[in-house]
Amino acid sequence: MRRRDFLVEIGTEELPPLALKELADAFLEGLLQRFAERKIKHGRAIRFASPRRLAALVKGLAEQQPEEVVKRRGPPVSVAFDASGQPTRAATAFAESCGTTVSSLERLRDAKGEFLLFNTRRPGALTWDLLPSIVQAALDALPIPKRMRWGSGEAEFARPVHWVVLLFGAEVVPATILGVPSDRFTRGHRFHAPKALRIATPGAYVGALRKRGRVLADFDERRESIRSATEQLAATLGGAPVMDDALLDEVAALVEWPVPLAGKFEERFLELPREVLIATLQDHQRYFPVKSGTGSLLSRFIAVSNLESLDPDQVRAGNERVVRPRLADAAFFYDTDRRQPLASRAAGLAQVTYQALLGTLQDKVARVRELARQIAGPIGADAAASERAADLCKCDLLTAMVGEFPELQGTMGCYYARHDGEQAEVATAIAEHYLPRHAGDELPGTRVGMALAIADKLDTITGIFAIDQRPTGTRDPYGVRRAALGVVRIIIERRLELDLRKLIATAAQLLTNHSGVGAVSKAVCDQVYDYIMERLRAYYLDRSSGLDVTTEMFDSVLSNRPPSPLDFDARLRAVERFLKLDAAGSLASANKRIANILRKAEVQPARIVNIELLRAPAEQRLHGELERLRPLVEPLLEQRNYAEALQRLAQLREPVDAFFDSVMVMDEDAELRGNRLTLLAQLRNLFLHTADLSRLPG
């Protein structure tokens, strides 16, 4: 089958930089998904993205769908024809639905009888005819939260569309996409090459844009160019760029022809906290700060321009002019904030609403203070330091610096607390209580920081559930998902022994005391526990824990609803080890069978097995083994050595198998039946101390 390269480019006004990479990935994925659905074969596929374009190049796209074999089974022959052999309405209706005649139908004989069969081959559709609808469908499916219209048309997209390139081989595929007719003319750099550029074939696209259009269309190539050139330029300044992936992605999404330029600022600004300098240069200006070999910042930065200026010094000076007043403002804020002790701002928290139903920030601090104190004891944190850190943890929200740089909340509180002479552990905890801020972020490193972080997050989660504002699939304004995952990560990865159910109940009671919510029901507390457990499920299933966990494994432990996440982790690790044993499958199946028997029996088993009623050798052996193992297993369970407990219980495989092979549990004799149900209930309960093995594959 013949093949051709395919190119599609959507030319727009500047696309949102934070979404550009995601849009490009989704566009290519959407195209390939639709090619797969239509069974159109192709070779390598590449996506392109720049501020003014989304594009995809698909190599070796088949010109036609493969031929399709269509087989439909119709009515039985006995129904399709009457006694005289004439077609009935059932036969003619089936033939009409297939677009043929009864005489053209074949017959199929199988174990169920003889049937009419429609069997034909349909030629595949031409790819040429399918391309416009495939491209449109891929564009319609892009993750664009809010689409816009422009002009007098009805088309909607992230930004107004100005041109569309649609080439299949050397030919233009005629179509109107997003209100714009397709052709073979792209646009180069807005200033360096503003005229239309003719693209002869898909393979010429990248080269034409680079040489004639001054555009690096490949997002990854452009990103790597920025990284490499920035590192080289920083080296000439005697340092290295402070560079993270998010900033590199954003800068790559802002320029089409990257030209790094070095700039400088006054050395006096180096007295500002490192985070303030980085926030000013990186978060606000999209510049790369430069650090020395020892890690300290230099009074230099690197800006990435979107054009190759004839007078680069003017561009450099312009960037420096922008930075200078921002740093001067930051220095002013820093100096002004330190004239007033951080603690003096605590009273002002009473004037700031945290949430209309949950009270003020002062109310939140009161709740977090008590919760942090209760967490401190079990995890070995200083209770007084935890309370003091809670008192101060939200005060920096009222500072001028955090008002200008909200992303520095906690960080500035730490600096100001140190300036005021607060304990080092208190100051550090103020910064740490926001951790982790995002997936994969670092965790608090001090015990006081851990106590404060857990308390703050639990108060947020419980409060939002208490006012029935729990997150939905698209909305989570209070970061409840992030908070829940943060709680479980801190507890498990820092190995903290905490009773989560008790802490949730305490958080609920504190809401009653320090908010307008009123009494928080036990049902709400259960919902909070369930929600955090679902975040814990995600934590394990995406293998953040390092364990190879399945949904069945997680549910087997969750059935016991352990109050301690650390205990949950120990049980889950035990189940993972248990499943590697030869006896695992058999015992899991036995637990399923026992659970079903006990459920269907609809009677409450007795507490003690009557030895005199154990008649069959297999039930006598099972009881004996159970009694032998019980005193060995129960201490292990008390020590939370669940893995060793399950390992010992695995010895029951043979007696359990023998029991089910030779013993009739539901005997006609009510006494025998009840005694055997009691024996099975005791066996199951011993396993249930760790997990419900009946939920595992067996």
Residue 602, pLDDT score: 73
Residue 35, pLDDT score: 96
Q: Is residue 311 over pLDDT 90?
A: yes
State the Cα–Cα distance between residues 663 and 675, nearest whole angstrom: 12
Span 333-349, average pLDDT: 97
Which stretch of 483-487, 593-597, 643-647 has the lowest confidence by average pLDDT? 593-597
Residue 662, pLDDT score: 87
Per-residue pLDDT band at 482 (split at 50, 70, 90): very high
* DSSP secondary structure code for residue 495 in this structure: T
Terminal Cα distance for the chain, rounded: 48
Which stretch of 39-48, 457-466, 647-656 has the lowest confidence by average pLDDT? 647-656
Give pairs for 465-471: CB < 8 Å, separation 24+. Answer: 465/524, 465/527, 465/528, 465/531, 466/358, 466/508, 466/511, 466/517, 466/520, 466/524, 467/355, 467/357, 467/358, 467/517, 470/527, 470/531
pLDDT (tens digit, 9 = 90+) per residue, 238-273? 999 999 999 999 999 999 999 999 999 999 999 999
Span 100-115, average pLDDT: 90
Residue 698, pLDDT score: 66
Which stretch of 9-23, 418-432, 622-636 has the lowest confidence by average pLDDT? 622-636
Cα dihedral 117→123→129→130 (10° resolution): 60
Q: Which residue has the tokens 């801020």?
A: 437
State the Cα–Cα distance between residues 383 and 385, nearest whole angstrom: 5
Question: Secondary structure of 154-217 in the HEC alphabet?
Answer: CCCECCCEEEEEEEECCEECCCEECCEEEECEEECCCCCCCCEEECCCHHHHHHHHHHCCCCCC
Per-residue pLDDT band at 683 (split at 50, 70, 90): confident
pTM attached to this predicted model: 0.82
Q: Is residue 89 over pLDDT 90?
A: yes
Q: 343-546: what CATH class? A: mainly alpha
Q: Which residue has the tokens 């069959």?
A: 616
Give the chain's mean pLDDT. Answer: 93
Give the CA angle between residues 477, 479, 480 to the nearest 5°: 110
Residue 468 burial (CB < 10 Å; 0-12/13-18/19+)? Answer: exposed
Start-end of H helices in 212-311: 219-236, 245-254, 274-278
Please list the residues that pair with 46 across neighbouring strands: 57
Span 192-221, average pLDDT: 96
Q: 580-695 — its CATH code?
A: 1.10.730.10
Report whether 435 contacts 449 (CB < 8 A).
yes
Q: What are phi and psi of 262, to 5 degrees?
A: -90, 140
Per-residue pLDDT band at 124 (split at 50, 70, 90): confident
One-letter amino acid for residue 474 of the chain:
T
Percent above pLDDT 70 for the chain: 100
Report whether 397 contacts 353 (CB < 8 A).
no
Span 377-392, average pLDDT: 97
Report whether 586 contacts 698 (CB < 8 A).
yes
State the Cα–Cα distance between residues 439 and 456, nearest whole angstrom: 18
Report whether 431 contacts 387 (CB < 8 A).
no
For the chain, what is the total number of helices (H) and then of strands (E)? 25, 18
Domain boundaries, the chain: 3-65+126-211, 69-122, 220-337, 343-546, 580-695
Report whether 199 contacts 165 (CB < 8 A).
yes
Q: What are phi and psi of 19, to 5 degrees?
A: -105, -5
Span 143-169, average pLDDT: 94
Cα atoms found within 13 Å of the Cα of residue 495, Cβ hemisphere only: 1
Residue 674, pLDDT score: 86
CA distances from 549 to 490, 536, 555, 569, 688 (A): 19, 11, 10, 11, 19
Span 591-612, average pLDDT: 84
Residue 652 burial (CB < 10 Å; 0-12/13-18/19+)? Answer: buried
CA distances from 476 to 394, 428, 464, 527 (A): 21, 28, 10, 16
Give helix 522-541 / helix 565-578 axis angle, nearest 10°: 40
343-546 against 580-695: fold identical: no
State the Cα–Cα distance between residues 208 and 191, nearest whole angstrom: 16
Per-residue pLDDT band at 145 (split at 50, 70, 90): confident
Q: Is residue 545 over pLDDT 80?
A: no
Q: What are phi and psi of 428, to 5 degrees?
A: -65, -40
Per-residue pLDDT band at 345 (split at 50, 70, 90): very high
Span 371-380, average pLDDT: 97
Residue 6, pLDDT score: 98
Residue 396, pLDDT score: 97
